[in-house]
């Protein structure tokens, strides 16, 4: 390659890698696989090695990829948190050993290596004073990280107090285990939240939350793999230091093997690769480190990487197979996911017979057809994916796939809304979505049936006691009591709560039905305007679109929902059960008439919904954004940008105490 051509390609690669590094490190939303990114970086490194005069400081080969997220305090690492040099073949591992052996001869030292699993997570440092955990930080750019102490305190495997009162700083990898990751995504699917792309980004996004209460709900774990700084204790070898860390209470990386030769190290790497499917956590390679700490010091480091360690990256195993069929699965949120049924084939230790095709756009982009020969690989150690269609092997018998227009489970219409990639079933009685539908109906935001949470709903469905929302009102004391040992008291409380819910206001019923794009506020708006369920069901699309705060997307969602036979059937069943279908909300007085409130921050005595309900009861309105039309901003603890905007616009800001005075 000529220098002019190389210069152009290097510029392209720097732009591409910088973009994907930001998506990976800063946004926690990767768009390409780790392997694809590694190959781009490898190409860039090779070109820079070939044309060293083209190396510049802004290249990712010269620095760590992450940055410090706004909102966190900055932490300067006393010992930089460097990244590792990646290698992709055993020839490169042997070359690494040759360099180390040559340097070791100069210092008359014997070389041993420690091989560890390279955990697929987010690097962090933990600082202890007199054995007490005092501060934790992310790697950031290697020199400066983010202070995430409070978030790290939520991880149960991080000891708050060590077995010895020692000053020490260690480095570890925060991660989410394979099983925990699957559960986390299953829960997000139930809540209709976007799924995490992989466990690494789930861990990174969780650790870098500005609210530690959110981090607390995520199943984060950590493995410690290095002593960064410890002035009061001297170690001779890395292996010795890891054993010491384990002894004083740290959760140390479990796979760590001391090897006398590079051949032994390669055998351990192969063994890890063969057994990686059995590990409870994801890995993206194996790390080979010089064990002798004094020799490490003499070998030294570059600005970005230590010269005494490398990371071996396992190549994703790829195999060819055939797509026998494409079927559709309906998830608990109604999302319809196309699934390729494959000619069974063994890849990376697992027999693969099916794989997700994600959505309609993915199928069209790759031009995937029934009968195609495709190349599949295991992505991120867990999920099989189609990486290529072998179009040259087509016979003309292949069939183009189209997403279904009706739900394959219940026959209700399917919709794909503008701006979304997902096609959904909108049937309220679809058996595939019943768990989520019933749980939402019973939730605090819906009919507020105390005791009827997700776990109990699941038990009721599994035991054949309910199939849909209306069946809640057919439950008997004996049926509910049968779910638990000595469950009579629990059953009586639940039956009582179900009975009480029949008298809820119409707005609670509307919100409980789980109409897409509708929340508490819009449900109250509909109930107040139409006064009863029949009037809402008979409303025309154009009429709904004309209502303030209801745009065309929400209007379309309401209209299509109530136009379905399944919805009409459910409403009739609920009427027969005695569920209230009328608007009950009455304004106590008009003290807030014509006034608009915006709520920001955390209130001590009220939830936002409760405060909004009080405001509306006194004739006022609430809004989600501050504008010149805003009358008051009710500000609680940790009020954010809304408070700032209110002050800029000269809007009256009131405290919770002042609000209570106003509603006396």
Can you list the domains of the chain with their CATH numbers?
3-62 (1.10.287.610), 74-312 (3.30.470.30), 318-400 (2.40.50.140), 431-576 (1.10.150.20), 596-663 (3.40.50.10190)
Sign, Cα dihedral of 263, 175, 183, 425: negative
For the residues 106-134, what does the mean pLDDT come to? 95
* Structure tokens that stand for 402 in this block: 């189209």
In this prediction, residue 21 carries a pLDDT of 73
The residues that bridge with 128 in the sheet, in sequence order, are: 133, 168
Examine the pLDDT at 28 and tell me if it is beyond 60. Answer: no
| Close Cβ partners of 337 (under 8 Å, ≥ 6 residues apart) | 328, 329, 330, 331, 356, 357, 358, 359
Examine the pLDDT at 317 and tell me if it is beyond 50. Answer: yes
For the residues 518-531, what does the mean pLDDT come to? 88
In this prediction, residue 587 carries a pLDDT of 61
In this prediction, residue 217 carries a pLDDT of 87
pLDDT-derived band at 379, boundaries 50, 70, 90: low
In this prediction, residue 315 carries a pLDDT of 80
pLDDT-derived band at 64, boundaries 50, 70, 90: low
Over its C-alpha atoms, the chain yields an Rg (Å, rounded) of 30
HSE toward the beta carbon, residue 595, CA cutoff 13 A: 21
In this prediction, residue 248 carries a pLDDT of 96
Q: Which helix (H) or strand (E) holds 350?
A: strand 350-356
In this prediction, residue 358 carries a pLDDT of 87
Examine the pLDDT at 88 and tell me if it is beyond 70. Answer: yes
In this prediction the pTM is 0.57
Share of the chain above pLDDT 90, in %: 54
Q: Are the beta carbons of 660 and 640 closer than 8 angstroms?
A: no
In this prediction, residue 34 carries a pLDDT of 64
Examine the pLDDT at 214 and tell me if it is beyond 90. Answer: no
- Of the ranges 193-202, 300-309, 520-529, which one carries the lowest mean pLDDT score? 193-202
Strands, E assignment, 139-282: 144-146, 168-175, 221-229, 256-259
**Which residues are annotated as catalytic?**
118
3-state helix, strand, coil in the chain (%, to 5): 40, 20, 40
In this prediction, residue 154 carries a pLDDT of 93
Arithmetic mean of pLDDT over the chain: 88
Examine the pLDDT at 645 and tell me if it is beyond 60. Answer: yes
Examine the pLDDT at 168 and tell me if it is beyond 90. Answer: yes
For the residues 553-562, what does the mean pLDDT come to? 91
The residues that bridge with 377 in the sheet, in sequence order, are: 318, 385
Examine the pLDDT at 341 and tell me if it is beyond 90. Answer: yes
Examine the pLDDT at 435 and tell me if it is beyond 90. Answer: no
CA–CA distance, 41 with 14 (Å, rounded to integer): 9
pLDDT-derived band at 289, boundaries 50, 70, 90: very high
Examine the pLDDT at 68 and tell me if it is beyond 60. Answer: no
Share of the chain above pLDDT 70, in %: 93
Q: Provide the pairing of β-strand 632-635 with 596-600.
A: parallel
* Structure tokens that stand for 616 in this block: 């509306």
Burial 432-459 (b: 16+ CB within 10 A, else e): bbbbbbbbbbbbeebbbbeebebebbee
């Amino acid at each position: 390659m000529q220098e002019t051509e190389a210069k152009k390609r290097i510029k392209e690669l720097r732009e591409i890698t910088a973009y994907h590094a930001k998506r990976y490190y800063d946004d926690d939303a990767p768009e390409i696989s780790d392997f694809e990114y590694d190959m781009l970086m490898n190409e860039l490194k090779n070109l820079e090695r070939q044309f060293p005069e083209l190396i510049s400081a802004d290249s990712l080969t010269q620095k760590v990829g992450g940055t410090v997220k706004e909102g966190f305090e900055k932490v300067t690492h006393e010992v930089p948190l460097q990244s590792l040099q990646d290698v992709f073949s055993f020839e490169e591992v042997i070359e690494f050993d040759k360099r180390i052996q040559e340097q070791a001869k100069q210092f008359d030292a014997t070389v041993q290596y420690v091989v560890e699993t390279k955990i697929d997570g987010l690097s962090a440092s933990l600082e202890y004073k007199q054995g007490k955990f005092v501060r934790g930080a992310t790697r950031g750019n290697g020199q400066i990280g983010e202070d995430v102490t409070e978030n790290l305190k939520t991880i149960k495997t991080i000891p708050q107090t060590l077995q010895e009162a020692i000053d020490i700083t260690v480095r570890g990898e925060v991660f989410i285990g394979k099983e925990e990751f699957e559960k986390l995504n299953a829960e997000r699917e139930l809540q209709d939240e976007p799924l995490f792309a992989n466990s690494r980004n789930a861990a990174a996004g969780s650790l870098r939350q500005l609210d530690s209460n959110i981090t607390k709900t995520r199943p984060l774990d950590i493995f410690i793999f290095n002593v960064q700084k410890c002035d009061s204790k001297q170690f001779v070898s890395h292996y010795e230091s890891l054993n010491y860390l384990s002894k004083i209470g740290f959760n140390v990386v479990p796979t760590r093997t001391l090897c006398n030769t590079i051949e032994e190290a390669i055998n351990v790497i192969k063994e890890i690769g063969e057994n990686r499917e059995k590990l409870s956590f994801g890995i993206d390679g194996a790390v080979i480190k010089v064990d002798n700490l004094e020799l490490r010091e003499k070998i030294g480091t570059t600005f970005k990487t230590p010269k005494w360690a490398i990371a071996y990256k396992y190549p994703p195993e790829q195999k060819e197979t055939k797509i026998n069929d494409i079927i559709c699965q309906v998830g608990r949120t109604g999302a319809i996911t196309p699934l390729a049924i494959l000619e069974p084939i063994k890849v990376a230790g697992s027999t693969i017979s099916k794989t997700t095709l994600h959505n309609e756009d993915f199928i069209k982009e790759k031009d995937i057809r029934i009968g195609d020969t495709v190349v599949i690989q295991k992505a991120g150690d867990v999920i099989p994916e189609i990486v290529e269609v072998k179009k040259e092997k087509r016979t003309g018998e292949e069939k183009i796939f189209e997403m279904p227009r009706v739900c394959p489970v219940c026959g209700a219409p399917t919709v794909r809304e503008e701006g979304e990639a997902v096609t959904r079933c909108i049937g309220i009685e679809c058996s595939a979505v019943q768990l989520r539908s019933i749980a939402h109906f019973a939730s605090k935001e819906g009919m507020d049936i105390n005791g009827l949470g997700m776990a109990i709903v699941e038990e009721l469905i599994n035991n054949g006691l309910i199939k849909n929302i209306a069946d809640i009102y057919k439950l008997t004391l004996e049926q509910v009591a049968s779910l638990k040992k000595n469950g009579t008291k629990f059953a009586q409380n639940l039956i009582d709560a179900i009975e009480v819910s029949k008298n809820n206001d119409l707005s609670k019923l509307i919100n409980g039905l789980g109409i897409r794009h509708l929340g508490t506020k819009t449900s109250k708006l509909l109930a107040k305007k139409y006064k009863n369920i029949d009037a809402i069901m008979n409303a025309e699309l154009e009429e709904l679109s004309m209502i303030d705060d209801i745009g065309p997307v929400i209007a379309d969602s309401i209209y299509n929902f109530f136009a379905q036979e399944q919805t009409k059937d459910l409403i009739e069943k609920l009427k027969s059960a005695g569920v209230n279908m009328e608007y009950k909300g009455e304004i106590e007085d008009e003290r807030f008439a014509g006034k608009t409130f915006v709520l920001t921050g955390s209130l001590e005595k009220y939830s936002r919904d409760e405060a909004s309900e009080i405001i509306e009861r006194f004739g006022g309105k609430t809004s989600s954004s501050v504008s010149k039309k805003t009358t008051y901003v009710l500000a609680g603890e940790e009020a954010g940008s809304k408070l700032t905007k209110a002050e800029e616009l000269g809007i009256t800001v009131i405290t919770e105490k002042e609000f209570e005075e106003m509603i006396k």
